[in-house]
Amino acid sequence: MTEVNELKKEYENLLVKVEQLPRTRELSLVITKLEEGLMWLEKSIKKSQSNV
């Protein structure tokens, strides 16, 4: 589980860095996909915690 939490932190750090770049349509899509990936990762964490 620790690896997943570390991955979540890395994801969040990447999202912060990407959000600091000049906005374009393409960058907005990158941000959306990163947020979507983070959502699924959090869902996976919650699911695995409930199975313990």
> Sorting pLDDT into bands at 50, 70 and 90, what band is 1?
low
* First-last CA distance in the chain: 11
Q: Would you state the torsion angle of the CA atoms of residues 16, 45, 37, 9, taken in this order, to the nearest 10 degrees?
A: 20
Residue 3 token pair? 């690896």
Q: Which residue would you say has higher pLDDT here, 52 or 37?
A: 37
For the entire predicted model, the pTM comes to 0.76
For residues 14 and 33, the answer to whether their CB atoms sit within 8 Å is no
How does pLDDT run across 5-51, given as a tens digit for each residue? 898 899 899 999 999 999 999 999 999 999 999 899 889 888 888 88
